[in-house]
Amino acid sequence: MRGRVRGWRWRRNPLRRRCDVVEMWTLLVVAVLVLTGAPLAGAVAGLWAHDDARSVAAGLRAERHPVTAEVVGRPPAGTMPTADGGQVRLYRVDVRWTDDRGTTHTTRAGVPAGTRPGDTVRIWLDARGRGVPAPPGEAAVWQHTLTLGCATAGGTAAAILLGHAAVRRVALRHRLGEWDREWARTGPDWSKGKT
């Protein structure tokens, strides 16, 4: 004899309770939502994040402009060329550059570790001539897009599964209550001849 009968919640039978039907339909809805709704929510959030990040990057590129400058300041002692998490560590030092009119300017800007006085570096300036970070590139835009899309899809799936767990808990409570009521009605008949 088999211990489990597949699909018993789908068929009419005396063991099937209303809470079993609710649990069955909830499971079906959860499967559909996790397999389609969560990825769809992630894709929509990713598209929104991509558009937003691209417009922010374009705005920053419009506000900032790159120039080639000569390092005139000395980076902190003992700085060696290193990479932290795939990005080069920058140190703020004095740099000098000449604008289109031939005027020489000096400002503080971030330069890679290991840069020495006299080296030329590419820096980004704002409209007032101050050294600012470079605007985000396409890789940073895509990183933001994927991070937000995956986080949204994962959060949506987690919320759906938490909701399903709550529904199952309520269904189990109802099922146990129904069984207790049924036993209260039939239990005395079973135990009459056992004393």
Reported as a single tens digit per residue, the pLDDT across 92-141 is 888 898 888 888 888 888 888 778 888 888 888 888 878 788 889 999 99
Render each residue's pLDDT in the chain as its tens digit; 195 residues.
Answer: 455 656 555 567 766 777 777 778 888 999 999 999 999 999 999 999 999 999 999 999 999 888 888 888 877 665 555 544 555 677 888 889 888 888 888 888 888 877 888 888 888 888 887 878 888 999 999 999 999 999 999 999 999 999 999 988 988 888 888 888 888 888 888 777 555
Strand, coil or helix: 13: coil
Q: Which amino acid is at 55?
A: S
Q: What does the pLDDT read at residue 79?
A: 52
Which residues, 6 or more positions from 17, have their beta carbon under 8 angstroms from its beta carbon? 174, 175, 178
Question: How far does Cα 16 stand from its chain's mean position?
Answer: 41
User: Residues 71, 93: contact at Cβ < 8 Å?
Assistant: yes
Q: What is the CA radius of gyration of the chain?
A: 33
Burial of residue 95 (CB within 10 Å: 0-12, 13-18, 19+) is buried
User: Residues 107, 129: contact at Cβ < 8 Å?
Assistant: yes
User: Residues 125, 61: contact at Cβ < 8 Å?
Assistant: no
CA distance 182 to 4: 22
